[in-house]
C-alpha cells in the first residue's frame, strides 16, 4: 500500500447534474476515514464548481494524499459507453477491494475482465456484476468494491432490488442474463463470458427503469 497516491470517485455530469451525487460524496468521505484524512462535503462540492454547466462529461474527483488536495478531472463520455460487453474470466482478487484508490500500477487490461477467486465471481476492473439467477437480481458481496450504482438502485427502485451474496461460477453460467454496473454507463448487458453467449432482454430493461428513476442533484 506504500504506492497509493490517493482515492477517488467518478460519474457522469449532464448539465451540471449528477445521478445519486450523495452516494459519491459518501464514498469519498468513507475513504477519507480509512486514510485518516480530514475531508468534508463542502470541500468536495467546492471542487466541482468547475464542471461545465451544459452538456455531458465524465468527471473524476481525486484526493491526492501527497499534498492533501482535491483534483477534478473531466473528459468526454466514451462513445463505447453503452455497448454490450464481452468479457474474459481472470483469477484475481484486488488486495483491498473495499477501497477505491489509485496508484502507479498499470491500468486495466485491453480486454474486459471479470475477476473470480476460488470458484466465486467478484467484479470487473471498473464495474460491478449483476446476474439474474432463477429470476432474481444478485450481485457478489464479499471481496468487491461496494458499488455506488447498486446502492443507488436499491435505494430508489420501487419494483426491483439487487440482493448481494456469494455468486459462484455455476451461478454465473446458469444466469438468465448478466449485466455490468457502474456510474458511467449505469447498467450495460454482458453478452459473452469466456466465449459463452448470454441473452439481453427484459431483466436488463427492468434495471434501466430503476436506473432512470434515480434523482439527480445539481453541482452548485
Domain containing residue 69: CATH number: 3.30.470.10
27 contact partners, CB below 8 Å, separation of at least 6: 9, 100, 146, 148
The torsion region of residue 12 among left (phi > 0), alpha (psi -120 to 50) and beta comes to beta
Nearest C-alpha neighbor of 188 from the set 198, 196, 172, 200: 200
Q: Would 204 be classed as within a structural domain?
A: yes
Residues 30 and 63 occupy one common structural domain: yes
pLDDT value of residue 177: 98
Quote the Cα angle for 87-147-2, to 5°.
90
- Are residues 51 and 133 both part of a single domain? no
Q: What is the pLDDT of residue 184?
A: 87
* pLDDT value, residue 195: 96
Identify whether 146 is part of a domain: yes
Instruction: Give residue 106's pLDDT.
Output: 44
Question: Residue-wise pLDDT tens for the chain (220 aa)?
Answer: 456 789 999 999 999 999 999 999 999 999 999 999 999 999 999 989 889 999 999 999 999 999 999 999 999 887 766 789 999 999 999 888 888 888 644 455 668 999 999 999 999 999 999 999 999 999 999 999 999 999 999 999 988 999 999 999 999 999 999 999 999 889 999 999 999 999 999 999 999 999 999 999 998 7
> Do residue 153 and residue 121 come from a single domain?
yes
Residue 220 in domain: no
Domain stop point among 53, 75, 97 = 75
Q: Note whether 124 and 152 are same-domain residues.
A: yes
Integer Cα distance of 109 and 77 in angstroms: 19
pLDDT of residue 94: 87
Tell which of 29, 52, 75 closes a domain: 75
Number of domains in the chain: 2
Task: Determine, yes or no, domain membership for 56.
Answer: yes
Kindly state whether residues 23 and 127 are assigned to the same domain. Answer: no
Asked whether residue 217 is assigned to any structural domain, the reply reads no
* Predicted local distance difference test score (pLDDT) of residue 4: 75
Domain that holds residue 25: 6-75
| Sign of torsion over alpha carbons 56, 57, 58, 60 | negative
CATH (domain of 175) = 3.20.10.10
Locus of grid cell 432463477: 134
For residue 199, tell me if it sits in a domain: yes
Is the pTM value of this prediction over 0.75? yes
Cell of residue 51, nine digits? 464542471
Residues 125 and 185 in one domain: yes
Nearest to 89 by CA among 182, 207, 173, 200: 173
Same domain as 103, residue 64: no
Residues 94 and 203 both lie in one domain? yes
Residues 145 and 206 grouped into a single domain: yes
Domain stops at, among 75, 107, 131 = 75
Q: d(Cα 147, Cα 107) in Å, to the nearest integer?
A: 20
Residues 70, 89, single domain; the answer is no
Amino acid at each position: 500500500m506504500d504506492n497509493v497516491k490517493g482515492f477517488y470517485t467518478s460519474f457522469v455530469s449532464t448539465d451540471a447534474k449528477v445521478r445519486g451525487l450523495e452516494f459519491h460524496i459518501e464514498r469519498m468521505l468513507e475513504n477519507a476515514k480509512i486514510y485518516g484524512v480530514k475531508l468534508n462535503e463542502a470541500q468536495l462540492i467546492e471542487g466541482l464548481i468547475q464542471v461545465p454547466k451544459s452538456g455531458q462529461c465524465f468527471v473524476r474527483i481525486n484526493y491526492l494524499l501527497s499534498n492533501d488536495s482535491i483534483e477534478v478531472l473531466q473528459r468526454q463520455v466514451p462513445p463505447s459507453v453503452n455497448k454490450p460487453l464481452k468479457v474474459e474470466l481472470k483469477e484475481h482478487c484486488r488486495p483491498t477491494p473495499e477501497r477505491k484508490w489509485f496508484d502507479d500500477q498499470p491500468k486495466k487490461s485491453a480486454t474486459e475482465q471479470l475477476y473470480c477467486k476460488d470458484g466465486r465471481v467478484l467484479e470487473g476492473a471498473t464495474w460491478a456484476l449483476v446476474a439474474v439467477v432463477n429470476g432474481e437480481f444478485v450481485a457478489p458481496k464479499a471481496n468487491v468494491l461496494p458499488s455506488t450504482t447498486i446502492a443507488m438502485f436499491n435505494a430508489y427502485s420501487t419494483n426491483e432490488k439487487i440482493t448481494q451474496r456469494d455468486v459462484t461460477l455455476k451461478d454465473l453460467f446458469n444466469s438468465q442474463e448478466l449485466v455490468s454496473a457502474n456510474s458511467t454507463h449505469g447498467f450495460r448487458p454482458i453478452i459473452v463470458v469466456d466465449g459463452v453467449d448470454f441473452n439481453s432482454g427484459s431483466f436488463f430493461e427492468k434495471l434501466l427503469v430503476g436506473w432512470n428513476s434515480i434523482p439527480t442533484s445539481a453541482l452548485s
